[in-house]
Amino acid sequence: MNVIRDFFSNRVVLAAFAAWAIAQGIKVILTLIITKKFDMSRLVGSGGMPSSHSALVCAMVTSIGYAEGFSSSVFALGACFAAIVMYDAAGVRRSTGKNAAVLNHLLDGLAGNGFVFDEERLKELVGHTPVQVVAGALLGILVGTLIG
C-alpha cells in the first residue's frame, strides 16, 4: 500500500519517532545505571530523563523546518504545538505526579491503621522537571537536524 509506505518513509515521522525511541532507550539505560535494575517498563513509561514528549515534538518541528522552511505556516503550527506539549509536560503532568505521591503517602498511612484501599497505587512518575524537558528538546532538535 502506498499510504503505509509513504507514512513510514516520511522524514518528519521518522525523525519524531526516532527521537522518541532514543529518549525512551536513554531512560532504560539511566534507570539501569541509577537503580542497578533493568526495568523494561521504562521503554514505554512516561516521565523521567529525558522527556520523550519533548524529544518527539522538537524532532518533528525541526524536521518540518528543514522540509518546509522555518518561515512556513506549518513550522509555526508545529512550534506552537511543541511549546504546548513541553509546557504541559513540565507543568500540569508534573503537578499530577506530585499529587499522586501525596495521595499514595496518605493512603499508606491510612493502611497502617487498618484502612483497606483496593485500588492500585497512583502513578507518580508522570511529568518532567524543566531540565528533563530541555534535555528532551535538545535531543529532538539534534535528531530532527540529522534526519530532517
Model-level pTM? 0.77
| Average pLDDT taken over every residue of the chain | 85
Question: At 66, is the pLDDT very low, low, confident or very high (cuts 50, 70, 90)?
Answer: very high
Q: Is the pLDDT of residue 124 over 60?
A: no
101-117: pLDDT as tens digits:
677 677 777 666 667 76
Q: What is the DSSP string of 95-134?
A: HHHHHHHHHHHHHHHHHTTT----SPPPP---S--HHHHH
Res 104: pLDDT: 64
Q: Is the pLDDT of residue 119 over 90?
A: no
